[in-house]
Amino acid sequence: MAKRGRLRRRHPERKQRQIRKRLAAYRASRPRRGFSRVAVPSFFTLMNLFSGYLAIVQVHQENFTYACWLIVLAGFFDALDGMMARIANGESLFGVELDSLADIVSFGAAPSFLVYNFGLKPFGELGLVVSALPAICGAVRLARYNIGFDGEKKDYFDGLPIPGQAIALVAIVLNYDTIATLLPSTTNSLAALVPIVFVLSALMVSNVQFDAIPKPTAHYIRHHPRQALAFGVALVLSLTWVPEGLLLSLAAYVLFSIGRAIYRVARAVWETPLDDADEAVLNEENA
């Protein structure tokens, strides 16, 4: 009898071992998708998305300052996920798509909702349409980037990156009181948001080249000393003179890129030699 009791007690253990073996065999038979390598960067991408969602909640509660800093925090997580993907060799199509989905919330929907509730709501339908542009143009910007992404990070972007557009709007909202004092007293300072939002949105879908955030490596600093110095100064200015330094850094970044694009177009127009056919057409038109 005692021996039968011992066998009965061992029977559940034998079943558990069999179940574990079957589960191990099932896992071994499934194709490995490599999610372990993308888990860490995906975590930061999801924190980016979560920060954008919290920013929308804060805008709804009219806590505009908190919403602005949450969008900045989303930008910090967005920079970290790319860095961690390169370190862990976890760059993948899954990560690219997840990053775009997070960006359209944190840097598209959240800034649109922010500028609408902060200053564009009194303009009625015009304010509603203009405030939607960061989300709409941001979606086009991300889709265009995704179809042209070949897995290699470039030193520049075609069009203003959507995080740059979002943080530029955040910097304007945070420095709104200072900007309003610089405008004439008879001017509606909120009306200045309309052209600013329009221009920043249009830059996202333009072909103007904007420098990417440099990699903090000795190789990059040796080959791009001016860009590394400029980004270093902007980083120090943004961290030590808050929030005015953030506005100055973003304004310099946008204006420099626009000025460089205008200079390149003008140089191409005036310095490119004409061939015989073009000269003949030009002379014919002048005649």
Q: Is the pLDDT of residue 215 over 90?
A: no
* 134 falls within a domain: yes
pLDDT at position 263, please? 93
Phi, psi of 137 (to 5 degrees): -70, -30
Centre a 10 Å sphere on the Cβ of residue 98 and count the other Cβ atoms it contains: 19
Q: What's the rounded Cα separation, in Å, for the pair 167 and 256?
A: 17
Q: What's the rounded Cα separation, in Å, for the pair 58 and 170?
A: 14
pLDDT at position 192, please? 86
pLDDT greater at residue 85 or residue 175 = 175
> At what angle are helices 125-148 and 162-174 packed, to 10 degrees?
150
* 154 falls within a domain: yes
Centre a 10 Å sphere on the Cβ of residue 194 and count the other Cβ atoms it contains: 19
In the chain, count H helices and then E strands.
13, 2
pLDDT at position 21, please? 74
Q: Dump pLDDT digits (tens) for 142-196.
A: 999 888 776 667 778 899 999 999 999 999 999 988 887 777 665 677 888 999 9
Q: What six digits make up the tokens of 25? A: 């065999």
Q: What six digits make up the tokens of 138? A: 């941001």
Q: List all residues 6 or more positions away from 21 whose beta carbon is below 8 Å from its beta carbon.
A: none
Q: Is the pLDDT of residue 107 over 70?
A: yes
Q: What's the rounded Cα separation, in Å, for the pair 110 and 66?
A: 12
**Mean pLDDT of the chain, nearest integer:** 83
* 232 falls within a domain: no
Residue 75: domain span: 35-213
Are the C-beta atoms of residues 58 and 70 closer than 8 Å to each other? Answer: yes
Phi, psi of 209 (to 5 degrees): -85, 130
Q: What's the rounded Cα separation, in Å, for the pair 112 and 118?
A: 10
pLDDT greater at residue 39 or residue 124 = 124
The count of structural domains within the chain is 1
* 99 falls within a domain: yes
Mean pLDDT of 215-219: 71
* 149 falls within a domain: yes
pLDDT at position 253, please? 93
Percent of the chain with pLDDT over 90: 48
* 129 falls within a domain: yes
* 87 falls within a domain: yes
pLDDT at position 36, please? 55
* 15 falls within a domain: no
pLDDT range class, residue 254, cuts 50, 70, 90: very high
Domain with 121 in it: what CATH number? Answer: 1.20.120.1760
